[in-house]
Amino acid sequence: MVEQVWSSPTVHCIKVGLPQNPLRNLNVYVICTPERNLVIDTGFRRPECRSALWEGIGELGLDLSRTSLFLTHLHSDHTGLVWDFVERGVPIYMGRVDWDYLSGSDQRIKWAGMEERFGREGFPPECLAQQGEGNQARLYAAAPGFPAVTLEHGGRIPMEDLEVTALHTPGHTPGHMVLYLPQEQLLFCGDHILFDITPNISVWNQAPNSLKDYLNSLDAIDELPIRAAFPAHRAGGREPDAAHRRIKELKAHHAKRLEEIYQAVAAAPDSTAYQVAGKITWSVRGLPWEEFPPHQRWFAMGETLSHLDYLTEEKRISRIEQAGCAVYRV
């Protein structure tokens, strides 16, 4: 399904459904000028996404010899089909930090690093083993090693007269980037700002305080004039003040979450992160914590850890690691 969402420049949105995923769909935006087209993100590497994406591109009649692809961040729902574009000779643009992460010699080492941290933080080993099975991020990822022009903060994507700037907004992933059109004041926000769901902020091997990175990135974007924002999932963002309003809400959400997690640690000193995760409120189809499927526990654990890391760095709580297991206390 293709919808025109902006007229100057012309921007279309291809809705790519994400089956059995709470995000529901990925919004693939296509910026079209008389000279060049820019596609933003791809969908998972699974047949349902591939057919929706290419049907949309066909409907738009894009000339691929004048088209580029930009990937906002490394997550598989955004990058899964990148090779479809590589094979058709489309140049790929991506932030250097996430590209480095994806092109690393062995992805298994990276997952192993995360699993080791989760293990030390009390995540049950049987849950660790099971969570990979339902984790779409692993199942539908692109093969590593695709070629890309890597961008640093402020890097431009060649679109002839249209100024399109990539801004580094770490937090959701270490190398997440948004695209900003300064003349038109348009923001393509990837997963940095979502309007009817909250972007997941997890922990990463190379990012010691991803929540702090995220909050700083929200502040940086808040300084830009924004007429309309285009989120990668769900709806929202088209009214002139929507992005700034949403940034306030997202900051308030994390402030509240930090307080809830601080109180959970204060009430039960020497809890593991996993125990803390079980005590805070989640909205997983109204299920109690004990009934969360393993991959949902993995997400909840990542989110809890990013908040615990933040509180630890602020010295509001301390992290004590003994015999390979970490606990927290105020």
Q: Which of residues 198 and 275 has its CB atom nearest to Zn ion in the complex?
A: 198
Instruction: Provide, rounded to whole angstroms, the least separation between the CB of residue 75 and Zn ion.
Output: 4
Work out which of 84, 191, 213, 303 binds Zn ion, going by CB under 5 A: 191
> What 3-state DSSP class applies to 173?
coil
- # chain residues binding Zn ion, by CB under 5 A: 2
Q: Which residues contact 312 (CB under 8 A, 6 or more apart)?
A: 318, 319, 328
Q: Which stretch binds Zn ion (CB under 5 A): 100-108, 185-193, 211-219, 315-323?
A: 185-193
Nearest to residue 108, comparing CAs of 124, 125, 75, 132? 132
Instruction: Based on the shown chain and the rule CB under 5 A, indicate whether residue 75 belongs to the binding site for Zn ion.
Output: yes
Concatenating the DSSP letter of every residue in 257-322 gives HHHHHHHHHHHSTTB-HHHHHTTS---STT--GGG--HHHHHHHHHHHHHHHHHHHHTTSSEEEEE
CB of 36 to Zn ion, least distance (A): 26
Q: Which is nearer to Zn ion, 36 or 75 (CB)?
A: 75
Q: What x-and-dash track marks residues 86-105 binding Zn ion by CB under 5 A?
A: --------------------
Q: Quick one: 191 or 213, whose CB is closer to Zn ion? A: 191
Q: Return the residue matching tokens 């093969």.
A: 143
- Distance between CA atoms of residues 248 and 219, nearest Å: 9
Phi–psi pair at 213, nearest 5 degrees:
-55, -45
DSSP state of 121: T
| Region near Zn ion per CB under 5 A, out of 21-29, 128-136, 183-191, 269-277 | 183-191
Residue facing Zn ion at closest CB distance: 75
* Cβ-based nearer residue to Zn ion, 119 or 236: 236
Judged by the rule CB under 5 A, the positions of this chain that interact with Zn ion are 75, 191
